[in-house]
């Protein structure tokens, strides 16, 4: 008999959820008939699922509210979806090239520290906003870049981050530690958001640094007198890849006005 085969709790769950490999089915059923306690648990778990269905299945039969009609939701412009495919390969190749570490100063100045703090605050504040996360949306990219350039006093460009699956949502102007700051927001297909904050720093260049606060991480560095902070979910590797793309493109742009 199969009674001696040890049955794990995971297998009991898998049995209830229809995830058990067919060849284990007999063994689990034999186990259950020999172990009333486990059999009762399995029944309770099934009853739980039934209760959930009894409580929530009626939602399925409700008429879908008009505000969830796709035609209605679709009226907003969608042009920035088209940009997603462009330049992906190019960005990848550029991203592979430049090194960014070991670039000058080793201690972080108060301005740089404050910049990272401000950037993380801005990130926390705006990423949770679904409908108005930005002042100017990505469909006015050229206008957004020109406006931020005029206000900040250096060449501001929203980098292409398609290589990391990130699309520009838009941007806004924010206060920084010593003057105005530019702020761009990006998001990927599953709704994760990254932001790029840039403001005048008090040094020419610095190393890239990593900082994390609560559930947000940030990579920051200074280049040509401008401090950059890339903030996103705490995933150092992913943040590094995004930061690298941003760095490589700011290098290209020739920042100073």
Partner 1 sequence: MTSFRDSVETMIPALRRYARALTRDADLADDLVQDTLVRALRSEKLFLGGDMRAWLYTILTNLNRNRRRSLARQPVLTELYDTPEPSGTEAESRDITRALAALPEEQRAVLLLVALEGLSYRDVADIQGVPMGTVMSRLARARAHVKSILEGERPALRRVK
- Looking at the Cβ atoms of 101 and 131, the one nearer to partner 1 is 131
128's tokens: 């949770």
Say how many residues make up the chain.
257
**Least distance in angstroms from the C-beta of 196 to partner 1:** 18
Site of interaction with partner 1 (CB under 8 A):
9-10, 13-14, 17, 19, 41, 44-45, 48-49, 51-57, 59-62, 64-65, 67-68, 70, 73-74, 76, 78, 80-82, 84-85, 124, 127-131, 165, 167, 187-193, 215
State which residue, 106 or 215, has the beta carbon closest to partner 1: 215
- Comparing CB distances to partner 1, the nearer of 73 and 101 is 73
CB 247 → partner 1: shortest distance, Å? 24
In angstroms, give the least distance from the CB of 238 to partner 1: 11
Angle at 208 between CA 202 and CA 210, to 5 degrees: 110
Considering the complex, state which of residue 34 and residue 48 has its C-beta at the smaller distance from partner 1.
48
CB of 36 to partner 1, least distance (A): 16
Using CA atoms in the order 196, 200, 205, 206, what is the torsion angle rounded to 10 degrees? -60
By beta-carbon proximity to partner 1, the closer residue of 153 and 233 is 233
- What's the closest the beta carbon of residue 168 comes to partner 1, in angstroms? 12
Chain-centre distance for alpha carbon 84: 16
CB-based contact 5:34 (threshold 8 Å): no
* Residue whose token pair is 């070991």: 102
For 223-247, give the DSSP string. Answer: ETTEEEEEEEES-HHHHHHHHHHHH
Rounded distance, CA 230 to CA 183, Å?
A: 10
Cα(246)–Cα(182) distance, integer angstroms = 14
Instruction: Between 55 and 106, name the residue whose CB sits nearer to partner 1.
Output: 55
State the nearest-atom distance from the C-beta of 49 to partner 1, in Å.
Answer: 4
Beta partners for residue 173, in sequence order: 182
Structure tokens at 41: 């648990």
Query: Which residue, among 170, 165, 116, has the nearest Cα to 138 in the 3D structure?
Result: 170
Nearer to partner 1, 187 or 248 (CB): 187
Q: Which two tokens stand for residue 185?
A: 């927001």
CB of 86 to partner 1, least distance (A): 10
């Amino acid at each position: 008999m199969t009674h001696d085969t040890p049955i794990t709790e995971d297998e009991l769950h898998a049995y209830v959820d229809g995830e058990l490999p067919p060849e284990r089915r007999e063994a689990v059923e034999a186990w259950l008939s020999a172990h009333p306690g486990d059999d009762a648990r399995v029944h309770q778990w099934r009853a739980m699922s039934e209760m959930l269905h009894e409580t929530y299945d009626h939602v399925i039969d409700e008429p879908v509210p008009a505000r969830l009609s796709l035609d209605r939701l679709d009226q907003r412009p969608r042009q920035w979806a088209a940009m997603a495919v462009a330049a992906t390969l190019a960005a990848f190749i550029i991203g592979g090239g430049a090194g960014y570490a070991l670039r000058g100063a080793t201690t972080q100045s108060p301005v740089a520290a404050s910049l990272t703090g401000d950037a993380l605050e801005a990130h926390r504040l705006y990423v949770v906003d679904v409908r108005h996360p930005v002042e100017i949306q990505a469909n006015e990219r050229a206008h957004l870049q020109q406006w931020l350039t005029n206000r900040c006093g250096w060449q501001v460009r929203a980098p292409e981050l398609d290589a990391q699956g990130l699309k520009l949502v838009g941007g806004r102007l924010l206060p920084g530690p010593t003057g105005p700051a530019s702020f761009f927001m990006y998001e990927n297909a599953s709704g994760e958001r990254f932001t790029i904050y840039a403001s005048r720093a008090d040094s020419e260049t610095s190393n890239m640094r990593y900082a994390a606060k609560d559930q947000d991480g940030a990579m920051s560095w200074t280049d040509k007198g401008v401090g950059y902070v890339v903030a996103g979910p705490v995933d150092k590797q992913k943040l590094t890849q995004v930061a690298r793309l941003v760095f490589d493109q700011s290098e290209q742009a020739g920042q100073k006005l």
